[in-house]
Amino acid sequence: MRAVVQRVREARVVVDGRVTGAIETGLLVLVGAAPTDTPSEVDAFAEKIVGLRIFADPDGKMNLDLRQVGGAVLAVSQFTLFGDCRKGRRPSFQAAAGPEHGRAMYDRYVDATRALGLRCETGIFGAMMDVRLHNDGPVTLLLDSTRLF
């Protein structure tokens, strides 16, 4: 599983002119699944993201996690995180999970985040989405469950 995690002041997803998910303070998480991802790996990945200490404490240092600031998550499915651009100019998405497994792992990520006691809004799996955000910092992190980076 891979994720782009952005600390936001607000974020929302719009599909066909309708807001499908919106948050204020929290994390916009673009999340993509690999064919080898398992439910237990997804659960650990969700816990890792929720526990990231990337919010400012009273001294202005990144020392607080999502729970400590009362934040929420906006999770957006993003198979293109597995795009391979090393050959040519058209990305290959062979390393991404197929639609069935991708949806199952995305749904598991959302459920795991909610099971940790957080509000988790979503986009619509497989839809063309307009993702709007107000990045805070900016703070943007790349995570890979296999620790590739």
What's the CATH code of the domain at 22?
3.50.80.10
Structural domains counted in the chain: 1
At 125, phi and psi to the nearest 5? -55, 130
Instruction: Examine residue 41 and state whether it is found in any structural domain, yes or no.
Output: yes
122 carries an active-site annotation: no
pTM score, two decimals? 0.96
User: Is 80 labeled as catalytic in the residue annotation?
Assistant: yes
Tokens of 118: 């957080």
Asked, for residue 148, whether it belongs to a domain, the answer is no
The answer to whether residue 149 sits within a structural domain is no
Nearest alpha carbon to residue 27 among 8, 49, 3: 8
DSSP 80-146: GGG-B-SSSSSPB-TTSPPHHHHHHHHHHHHHHHHHTT--EEE--TTS--EEEEEEEEEEEEEEETT
Within a domain: 15:
yes
95 within domain boundaries: yes
pLDDT tens digits for range 48-65: 999 999 999 999 999 999
If you average pLDDT over residues 41-48, what whole number do you get? 97
Report the percent of the chain where pLDDT is more than 90.
97
From 68, 80, 140, 146, active-site residue: 80
Number of residues written out for the chain: 149
Given the residues 20, 78, 113, 122, select the one marked as catalytic: 78
CA-wise closest residue to 38 among 97, 81, 83, 115: 97
Amino acid at residue number 26:
G
Q: What pLDDT, on a 0 to 100 scale, did the predictor assign at position 147?
A: 84
pLDDT in tens, 88-105: 999 999 999 999 999 999
The domain containing residue 39 runs over which residues? Answer: 2-142
Residue 78 annotated in active site: yes
SS3 for 7? strand
- The whole-number average pLDDT for the span 111-122 is 98
How would you class 90 by CB atoms within 10 Å of its CB: exposed for 0-12, middle for 13-18, buried for 19 or more? Answer: exposed
- The answer as to whether 111 is a domain residue is yes
Q: What is the pLDDT of residue 145?
A: 92
- Tell me if 147 is assigned to some domain: no
Q: Which of 6, 45, 55, 79 is the catalytic position?
A: 79
